[in-house]
A = this chain, B = another copy of it.
Amino acid sequence: MDVVRLTENWAEPPGPVSHVVISSRVRLARNLERIVFPPHADSKDLRQVCEAVDRLIRSEAALKEFARIDIGACRAVERMFLRENHIISPELEQGGEFRVLHFDPKRSCAIMVNEEDHLRMYCLRSGLQLTAAWEEIHAVDTVVGRSLCYACSDKYGFLTACPTNVGTGMRASVMLHLPGLVMTRQMDEIIKTIPHHGLAVRGYYGENSEFLGDFYQISNEVTLGKTDVEILEGLQKFIERLVSREEAARASLLDKRHWQVEDVIWRAYGVLTHARIMSSKEAFQLLSPIRLGIERGYFPTLTHHRLNRFIVAMQPGHLQIAEGSEMPPVERGLARARFLRSVFSELKTAN
């Protein structure tokens, strides 16, 4: 399948601070001048945007590595597969005419066409790499902005379909794994303070998703009245402090209640290697302590990066593509357990 083949090298090798930070992502929302924004656009408008971007990509040497996927022509399971890889957003997963993804796996950059805005351009990096991600997508934005006229206001900056994006149009986000802060019961307090920093916190699946497996996505909430660089610096500092607190929490747990940490890790491993049916929610919750186990040296052949791939691969779209057929939930639960049992039973373990 094209979608699978084209995107299989999407995931980068692990980046800095990967024991706590899964990934960093910077996305820019842009719209074209004089064309109705997608939420109110008709077919003609959407086609116009789509064709303008296609022409641009063909003509710009800097964008020649971008591959094109017509999202509207994908099967539901393929769109699911792309969303589970964080390549497209839940909004674009809905599909529809003139919804297109242009992406460059080598740079982990992509342009989603006719999502909530005409263009949603982003760069996704492993570990804590906000600046690198921003530089990469900023370079793409510069090239695109030279050819296409962005809807812009002198007073507000870039105009967007939703007012929460007006200004820089930038949303920078970091996916974190914070089991130490959860186990030491500090996380509820931290979540309460996040809005005071102009930031927002979400679950693994983004907006409106629940907190699962100690994964938290933190992003800037403010897009107006600050520059991209100021916003990135604020987020970076906040994340660095959070990483230090997470490290301190893990150290204190290992110092005072090491058996509790060991218990959680080994129980998760015991269930992953033996369960016969499993929901993706439970799998999330079990894969979380396994990340801690990597750090403790319990799984000498497992890397954070490979574990991240398991988290993606056990999701419904990936499972169905791997099995080559659409499956009802019970069948998926059986296939998920079979997959996890097989990968974890093969792992070397050390005590």
**Which among A260, A271, A274 has the greatest number of chain B C-beta atoms within 10 A?**
A274
Instruction: Give the 7 A-B CB pairs with smallest separation, nearest first.
Output: A270-B274, A270-B270, A263-B276, A266-B274, A262-B276, A263-B277, A270-B271
Docked pose: A307 CA to B267 CA in angstroms: 21
| Residue on B nearest A334 in the bound complex, by CB | B259
Interface residue count on the A side (C-beta < 8 Å): 17
Whether A270 lies near B275 (C-beta < 8 A) is: yes
Q: Look across to chain B and name the residue whose beta carbon is closest to the beta carbon of A263.
A: B276
Please indicate the chain B residues that have their CB under 8 angstroms from the CB of A235 in the complex: none
Contact of A20 with B by CB under 8 A: no
Closest chain B residue to A274 by CB distance? Answer: B270
Contact A267 B263 (CB under 8 A): no
Q: How far is the CA of A273 from the CA of B269 in the complex (A)?
A: 10
> Cβ of A271 and Cβ of B267 under 8 Å apart?
yes
Q: Which residues of B contact A334 (CB under 8 A)?
A: 259
Q: With A and B bound together, what is the CA distance between A259 and B275 in angstroms?
A: 10
Q: How far is the CB of A161 from chain B (nearest CB, A)?
A: 46
In angstroms, Cα B277 to Cα A89, docked, is: 41
Q: How far is the CB of A65 from chain B (nearest CB, A)?
A: 45
CB distance from A272 to the nearest CB of B (A): 8
